[in-house]
Copies of this chain bind each other. A is one copy, B any other.
């Protein structure tokens, strides 16, 4: 692991790191905020998965999480959203919702993406091992959140590893990729046309198929331009109601899809996580 930068921040340290990933076959960059409490021993870990077009940098710069992570004693880990670099296949059409910056947190099975687009393995296996080895992390206390495509990642990963994550939340998540255009394109492109293979990467389908978590916090802006066509939080509400999952879905009047929205509610999400990580 290589340290790209470390700055003191809110009493802790905000670092950016890179390493050669075996999962993706590429150099991967991520950021970690270590709160001051880590000087006294390992601290719980909040994972934040970012949305389409983002790298680790968006939430690191605009997420406004450090003040409260420092107060609550939470480590905050922000990975990249796809493999990158020379030789990594991108969408031939150059779109922003598939390929680079749009890994959708799956292990691709379709050529040419299967070679590098293995974000599921990277996020659920390789990077946690690196965090455990290199940082003062209490890996028995982890939680996960994310935005948009990263909310999809957080929900599907939490539902797939209910014993690992003590809390899950999301900002404006894609809740049912199999039912929306972004998901059709991504899951079709990475996993192929057999929609049976998509179900373990669709939060609503996972719940329908029996996956469970205790509760979920979701914030969704009502002025979000992607709400009606791509996000459809009512599908998650319906699935949770049928499954007995305690969903707190907060529709936020006037808020859009940007980091101005995310940062406005970051404190509430961190408190939700801290209560469940205590």
Chain A contact residues, CB within 8 Å of chain B: 7-11, 14, 61-62, 64, 66-67, 221, 223, 252, 254-256, 258-261, 263-264, 267
Contacts and interface: CB of A to CB of B under 8 A. Distances in A.
A267 B68 CA distance: 12
Given A61-B62, A62-B61, A67-B64, A264 B9 contact: yes
Select the residue from A259, A260, A263, A264 with max chain B CB neighbours within 10 A. Answer: A260
Contacts of A263: 9-10, 66-67
A218 to B, nearest CB: 17
A260 B62 contact: no
Nearest to A256: B7
B255 A223 contact: no
A7 B66 contact: no
Contacts of A267: 67
Given A7-B260, A67-B267, 12 more contacts: A7-B255, A7-B258, A8-B221, A8-B255, A8-B256, A8-B261, A9-B263, A10-B264, A14-B260, A62-B62, A64-B64, A64-B67
Given A61-B61, A67-B64, A261 B7 contact: yes
A8 B254 contact: yes
B261 A9 contact: yes
Summarize A's interface: helix, strand, loop or mixed. mixed
7 pairs of A and B residues whose beta carbons are closest in the complex: A7-B260, A9-B260, A8-B254, A8-B255, A10-B264, A64-B64, A61-B62
A14 B263 CA distance: 12
Nearest to A12: B264
A267 B9 CA distance: 13
A62 B60 CA distance: 9
A90 B194 CA distance: 58
Given A14-B260, A67-B267, A267-B67, A8 B62 contact: no
Contact of A264 (B8, B252, B260, B264): B8
A248 to B, nearest CB: 19
